[in-house]
Amino acid sequence: MQRTNIIDTPKFIGQSVKLSGWVHIRRDHGKLIFVDLRDRSGIIQTVIIPDHVEAHDNAKRLRSEFVIEMEGIVKERPMSAKNEKSPTGGVELEVASIKIINEAKTTPFELTKSTIDVDEKLRLKYRYLDLRSERMKENILTRYRVIKFFRDFLDKKGFIEVETPILGKTTAEGSRDYVVPSRIYKGKFYALPQSPQQYKQLLMVAGIEKYFQIARCFRDEDTRGDRQPEFTQLDMEMSFVEQEDVMNLVEEMLIDLVQTQFPEKKIQAIPFPRLSYAESMEKYGNDKPDIREDKNDPNLLAFCWVVDFPFFEKDEESSTGWTFTHNPFSRPKPEFMDQLMNKENIGEILTTQYDIVLNGFEAGGGSIRNHEPKALRKVLEIMGINEEKVQRDYGHMLEAFKYGAPPHGGIAPGVDRLVMILQNEPNIREVIAFAKTGEAEDPMMEAPSVLDEKQLKEAGIKIVVKKKKVL
């Protein structure tokens, strides 16, 4: 007999089915034993009566989280016993046979209710158990549905999904890189991408025109509730577009996402309000304002755009005293292009950067890019980057732009943050299947970990332990 998903059991009233899953709850009433059986699709109440002797004996051995297989007849429950809140609450399985596939130890925390109040390190150590809880399972399923929605939406808009390399080159993108030593080229290193920024721009040079990727990104920075060492973003880039084109597409996509996948949610204002960076800082004191009219409403979504960011900000470490505010590849607003090219009134230059903000979180950011090599060079000059470093870090981009680069721009909404907000979770670790702690550790895999001497030798690495000074 083929296995039936629990969620489908109401279709088989009066028929024999085979169910497989985990023991959710077992209740022994003497003659009658009730077992709530759980699989990914749902939970069903099963009843084992003494008439089925072997099944009844096996039912007495069952404990929470045992993996079992049951066969029996699906029966409609009496009206007084129906649970209208459950999709399977109108039926139960009268069990004829039970097969114990695998026993289970007592779990380190209870799985039949939300694990949100359980010590987080303990949850992450036993994440494969944590993910069995209803809340965490729903978070992961919701994340899948959001990503699938993005893929389907962009496919209809003519976008192509392209994977870009994970092993790349270290470049200045605002945070520290995670680096990977090369075994073949001793003393040289790959860098894990902080974002696919340069690759996606090169795809525009390649003529792809409309690109997206569910991109893994890596940043070696201090973690917060809405940050992780590795995270996922919906990376997008388009050719022959202006700022309004990108913003309008993303706004349409987010409205459609909420209305189709989260109908219980209310968007506060459509179209999304727009604030300049200066207005946001003056009114809210930050560039990611929470503009909700009722912050106690968990289903209220207040999107807004923040635009007109300064291109440069003061930086004491730069030889010229300037660095970029977002990334060096942005294009200034058209009316500031002459100031960029002449390197005049640098602090007043505004860029085409646009951030999408949701309930006080930066949900994504992007810009129109400098597609002309001379304009990109001016940005690097203003930052005081010498020619040797320009060629080492950006030479491939400058070279590519000499071969007919189209005007282009893009954005990268954060998948983790969006799902976190939509699921009313306190941090992104709740919506990532195997997350790190706030200290960037993985208690389950015990990572980061040490390498043995053979691995270090192969990579050409020597660990130097600094001795503590004796006072």
CA dihedral 51, 55, 56, 59 (to 10 degrees): -160
Please give the average per-residue pLDDT across 310-317, as a whole number: 84
**Residue 188: enclosing H or E segment and its boundaries?**
none
Q: Is the pLDDT of residue 253 over 90?
A: yes
**Per residue in 148-179, is it b (16+ CB within 10 Å) or e — as a string?**
eebeebbeeeebeebebeeebebbbbeeebbe
> H or E stretch including 160?
strand 160-161
Q: pLDDT tens-digit profile of 139-153?
A: 999 999 999 999 999
Q: How many CB atoms lie within 10 A of CB 406?
A: 13
Q: Which of 432, 457, 461, 436 is nearest to 447 (CA)?
A: 436
pLDDT at 108: 97
pLDDT, average across residues 289-318: 92
**444 in Cβ contact with 108 (< 8 Å):** no
Q: Is 190 helix (H, G, I), strand (E, B) or coil?
A: strand
Least confident of 186-195, 267-276, 321-330: 321-330
Cβ distance 37 to 71 under 8 Å? no
Lookup: tokens for 421: 């907000």
DSSP 11: G
> Which pLDDT score, from 0 to 100, does residue 409 have?
98
> What pLDDT does residue 467 have?
75
- pTM as predicted: 0.93
Q: Average the pLDDT over 294-318 and give the result.
A: 92
pLDDT tens digits, one per residue of 229-250: 999 999 999 999 999 999 999 9
pLDDT of residue 13: 97
pLDDT number for residue 323: 84
Q: For position 324, what pLDDT does the model report?
A: 86
- pLDDT of 384 over the 90 cut: no
Tell me the average pLDDT across 330-351.
Answer: 94
Which amino acid, one-letter code, is at 406?
Answer: P
Q: Where in the chain is the domain with CATH 2.40.50.140?
A: 6-102
Residue 375: per-residue pLDDT: 93
Half-sphere exposure of 163 (CA within 13 A, CB side): 4
- The per-residue pLDDT for 171 is 72
pLDDT at 99: 97
**pLDDT 10s digits, 44-74:** 999 999 999 999 999 999 999 999 999 999 9
Residue 470 pLDDT level (bands cut at 50, 70, 90): low
CATH class of 6-102: mainly beta
pLDDT tens-digit readout, 12-30 = 999 999 999 999 999 999 8
For residue 232, the surrounding DSSP H or E stretch is: strand 230-239
Give the pairing type, strands 67-76 and 91-102: antiparallel
The CATH homologous superfamily of the domain defined by 125-309+353-371+406-431: Bira Bifunctional Protein; Domain 2 (3.30.930.10)
Please write the tens of the pLDDT for every residue from 118-127. Answer: 999 999 999 9
Q: Which residue ranges does the chain devote to CATH 3.30.930.10? A: 125-309+353-371+406-431
Whether residue 320 has pLDDT greater than 80: no
Residue 450: pLDDT band with limits 50, 70, 90: very high
Centre a 10 Å sphere on the Cβ of residue 3 and count the other Cβ atoms it contains. Answer: 12
DSSP state, residue 354: E
**Residue environment code for 278-287, b if the CB has 16+ CB neighbours within 10 A, otherwise e:** eebeeebeeb
